[in-house]
Chains A and B, each alone.
Chain A
């Protein structure tokens, strides 16, 4: 009797459950595995300084990926984040040098990013152009604006305090790390705990059903693009502050890195499913590969090969679970 009761109440791990777990947490499993391997391989890896550096270096990408999670969950893509980053980068340097005001210069990228994000949202909702094409086109426009501001050259910033945002620390921790933690916490709450967050999921899951349920689909879409633009602008402010020069080619490739991190984390490319923590994990999985290569002195020519293999492994794990179900 007792043994029968025990048999019926004890949780059973079935292959299907194991695969489902793998699917849901593939990115965390790979992240943990990589952390362990790197900690064993190099005594320099698992140090406070190195871990803080990894977070600091990847803050711009993480900001863009976290906001991009909203875009992808809502069923859209934003391919213009790198171009917004470039505009923000040169605008910050230009404003700072023209006005001599560091604060004004560093506030320019988020404001401009927000405006360009709204522009993207309106292009998608008013013109009814697919977000992939609309943001591809707008990225060309934004990139051209960045080139026109500088004439293609870079703008050096020689003002005291301009680098403080990107390189300053509080208690040994970069300001950027604090900014990232706060931003992630807010975005996590917004996505999981607010009406707007639920609307984002609804729009990505089934926009027609969402519309019929009273969700203002277009407004939600404009807001997610605005958020994405704001994050790209914030990332630009940090990036330009770090190197004290605005460059029209700054941030090249960031849009694809961000999308890769989001998808790698497990957010569905088809919309309706995803989470902020997943994108953060995706960013740092990719970041650890780069950090590991540099620390261990591996041939950088095979970095892309290893990165691609790990992404494939993560996506494959997730797909295995789905097929099984």
Chain B
């Protein structure tokens, strides 16, 4: 009796859930099915983010949108979420590369070498890449595959080397100078390149001792955990060299929890979030490698538009030069630009 009663209203409940989902899908789809029609009816642009749930990617998308509005060319953007998954983004690129739905693509590659497999695109539409190049060589900023017209980035190895060189300067009077490398993910080619660059610069100095390399996974909580562990064996660490602001924030928490004043350690990050810039201004962090994701997105959209309209295209836009200030920020450089607050929240 009880079970049959349940069964009798299970069907309507299930049907309602399915109908609700279908209605939501219909409502969300809008006119996304319309085909790209080139200059006569404006442009349909696919924006392939490595993740839509990530502040950096959202800042890039914001820049793309701002430039699309500024160009006043009836540009319609469709954002696609790569979910931090190389296969997902590859599929999205392959889908964008067939048919006539899109006129062009702006992409933030999750895995540039893997994404190269989608090229050349079947429909030959132009693609601009932000943050990383598409192709096997992560240090090569000129287009490596047919179809990519412009890359807005800075070689990861170069940026990492700049960070490491500043560490060398800081360590000049310390012997030994104990350095912990806090990198994102050691299964990601970009982060492996960064770690290699750090080591190449630091290992050339006799007074610098690289204590260990740990993964922060771009997560403050995980970074706090791993740096807390490292501090158990190396409480007298001099430098924590991180490639991402979220990780540096975690390192700061770990130092504070261990009773160490973070300003007594060389803390540096990468990204240029509003919080990190404030930390550098306050002297809590010694430096930060600033990214300009909004400006980078805008530059990528501009170059894509140039390609679509037959104007001159810059095949490589140096991402360090698109922002308002010097990218390698210290308290001294930021004091020269007191109004700068950063382009994104971490």
Contacts and interface: CB of A to CB of B under 8 A. Distances in A.
Interface of A: 42, 44-45, 47, 49-50, 53, 57, 126-128, 147, 151-154, 156, 167, 239, 242-243, 245, 248-250, 290-291, 294-297, 299-301
Contacts of B221: 239, 242-243, 250
Contact of A294 (B17, B229, B253): B229
Contacts of A239: 221
Given A242-B253, A243-B220, A153 B233 contact: no
A50 B57 CA distance: 37
Contacts of A243: 220-221, 224, 249-250, 253
Interface string B196-222: 000000000000000111110001110
B226 A156 contact: no
B306 interface: no
A42 B233 contact: yes
Nearest to B345: A153
B52 interface: yes
B257 interface: yes
A294 B224 contact: no
B232 A50 contact: yes
A156 B256 CA distance: 18
Contacts of A250: 221
Interface of B: 6, 10, 13-14, 17, 51-55, 57-58, 186-187, 211-215, 219-221, 224-226, 228-230, 232-233, 249-250, 253, 256-257, 275, 344-346
Contact of B13 (A44, A47, A126, A249): A126
- 6 tightest Cβ-Cβ pairs between the two chains A and B: A294-B229, A297-B212, A44-B233, A44-B232, A243-B220, A153-B55
Contacts of B53: 147, 152, 248-249
Contacts of B220: 243, 245
Nearest to B257: A167
Contacts, number: 87
Contacts of B57: 152
B225 A156 contact: no
Given A243-B224, A294-B214, A154 B346 contact: yes
Contacts of B213: 299-300
A127 B10 contact: yes
B6 A126 contact: yes
B10 A128 contact: yes
A50 B228 CA distance: 9
A57 B186 contact: no
Given A243-B250, A294-B212, A297-B211, A152 B55 contact: yes
Nearest to B56: A153
A167 B230 contact: no
A296 B55 contact: no
A49 B232 contact: yes
A151 B54 CA distance: 9
29 contacts: A47-B232, A49-B232, A53-B229, A53-B232, A57-B228, A127-B10, A128-B6, A128-B10, A151-B58, A152-B53, A153-B58, A153-B344, A156-B275, A156-B345, A167-B253, A167-B256, A242-B253, A243-B250, A243-B253, A249-B54, A290-B229, A291-B229, A294-B212, A294-B214, A294-B229, A294-B233, A296-B233, A297-B211, A301-B186
